[in-house]
Amino acid sequence: MKAIVINEKQRGLVFENGKFVKLITAGKYRFFRNKTVEILSEAVRIYTEKCSIEALLDNEEFKSSVDVYEIKDNELGLRFVNGKLIDTFKTGKYAFFKTKADTEMRIIDTSEAEITGINPVVIGLPVSTYVRYEVQPYEKGILYIDNKLTKVLDGGVYYFWRNGSTIKVECVDTRLIQLNIQGQEILTQDKVSLRINFICSYNLTDIVKSVSEIDDYEEQIRVIAQLALRDYVGKYKLDEILENKDAISKFVYDRLKEKENELYIKVQDAGVKDIILPGEIRNIMNTVLVAEKQAQANVIARREEVASTRSLLNTAKLMDENQTLYKLKELEYIERICENVGNISLNGGDGIIAQLSTILKGK
């Protein structure tokens, strides 16, 4: 005989000649050699390699001592003990010993991909059972299940079961989008190569159609703008293009507006950002600009000289016609000269003004 001890929170499965015969609880037992005992913990699901769960359930004593749950396809079993998630179970039949603890097996339907009603992070679900997607407040999420567009998601955090379905969420920005269009080499009518950088702002008017019916709508907008720039630049000479940048913006803007319905967009604004010329053309234009500015400076200088001379002539005429004005002007110049003179000696003969005049004339 052999002694077997079953501790608290344990149960024993007694097998005789390989067949399950009874269930034993905590205590000390003695058995003959033809009997074996498998000791199991009350905290985990019942499992033995000696027989199936169905064979154990054929024993009425065992059946009355356990709780049995059957998890079907597309279901997930969540086992809680005293309100805490202990384990998760997929398809199969499971038995647990009845204990004094508050236990619950919550069976959840996972056939629907999106998880609703529970937060898997809060309850502690293993990350292997779900997938997480986050949609920003300024975005819309296009949900695809098994490559089929299912619905549009607003901003928020979403969880989906890993139930064999292919889940994909494509986030689309709903804000005003600014698109920079880098210019390619374009020849003007007079065969000058230049590049025009263009910028446009737009909104999506139908997110679902723009994503599902248009292959890369952003690239489509870029191509339309580039073709419009090429059409316009090829019809005009360089000087005409530089003088009418606003006309370029309007031409491309109108071309984009014509395509709004096809691309499911609303063009808000568009315009030329930069016109980039070849290096030799820039040097020539800089030389011309310097020459023009120099000529303008010369004209202004000559104009000022003429005005100054005319002013002097008018002053001379007035002084010639009016002796009092002449005297006042003479005094004004004497005053200016005296400001720079250190000492002046005068005698008691003529008047001070006359003596100053004589001294200055003598100098």
pLDDT score for 277 = 78
Coil/strand/helix, residue 219: helix
* Separation of alpha carbons 157 and 59, rounded Å: 48
Tokens of 294: 């120099």
Phi-psi region of 53 (alpha: psi -120 to 50; beta: other; left: phi over 0): alpha
Q: Does the pLDDT at position 74 exceed 80?
A: yes
Contact 182, 229 (CB under 8 A): no
Mean pLDDT value of segment 121-129: 89
Angle value at C-alpha 10, between 6 and 11, nearest 5 degrees:
80
pLDDT score for 27 = 92
* Confidence bin at 363 (pLDDT 50/70/90): very low
Cα separations in angstroms, 92 against 4, 199, 200: 32, 60, 58
Phi then psi for residue 162, to 5 deg, are -85, 80
pTM (predicted TM-score): 0.64
pLDDT score for 355 = 59
Comparing 314 with 71, which gets the higher pLDDT?
A: 71
Its CATH architecture, for the domain 177-277, is 2-Layer Sandwich (3.30)
Q: What is the DSSP letter of 114?
A: B
Contact 277, 196 (CB under 8 A): no
Query: Which residues contact residue 32 at a Cβ distance below 8 angstroms, ignoring those fewer than 6 apart?
Result: 1
Q: What is the dihedral of CA 202, 206, 211, 217, to 10 degrees?
A: -30
Mean pLDDT value of segment 77-87: 90
> Quick one: what percent of the chain has pLDDT higher than 70?
85
Q: What is the pLDDT of residues 312-353, one digit of tens each?
A: 777 777 777 777 766 776 677 676 767 666 565 655 555 555
Q: What is the pLDDT of residues 128-180, one digit of tens each?
A: 899 999 999 999 999 999 999 999 999 999 999 998 889 999 999 989 999 99
Tokens of 293: 């500015």
pLDDT score for 187 = 83
pLDDT score for 83 = 87
* Separation of alpha carbons 259 and 280, rounded Å: 37
Q: What is the DSSP letter of 128?
A: G
pLDDT score for 341 = 63
Tokens of 181: 């269009």
pLDDT score for 361 = 55
- Which helix (H) or strand (E) covers residue 86, if one does? strand 84-89
Q: What is the pLDDT of residues 5-64, one digit of tens each?
A: 999 899 999 998 889 999 999 999 888 878 889 999 998 999 998 899 999 999 999 999
Q: What is the pLDDT of residues 273-288, one digit of tens each?
A: 888 776 666 555 666 6
Angle value at C-alpha 136, between 135 and 138, nearest 5 degrees:
125
Nearest CA among 269, 190, 274 for reference residue 233: 190
Q: What is the pLDDT of residues 201-219, one digit of tens each?
A: 999 999 888 888 888 888 9
Per-position b or e across 300-339, b if 16+ CB within 10 A of its CB? eeeeeeeeeeeeeeeeeeebeeeeeeeeeeeeeebeeeee
* Separation of alpha carbons 264 and 267, rounded Å: 10
> Quick one: what percent of the chain has pLDDT higher than 90?
36
Q: Where are the domains of the chain?
A: 2-101, 120-173, 177-277, 280-321, 330-363
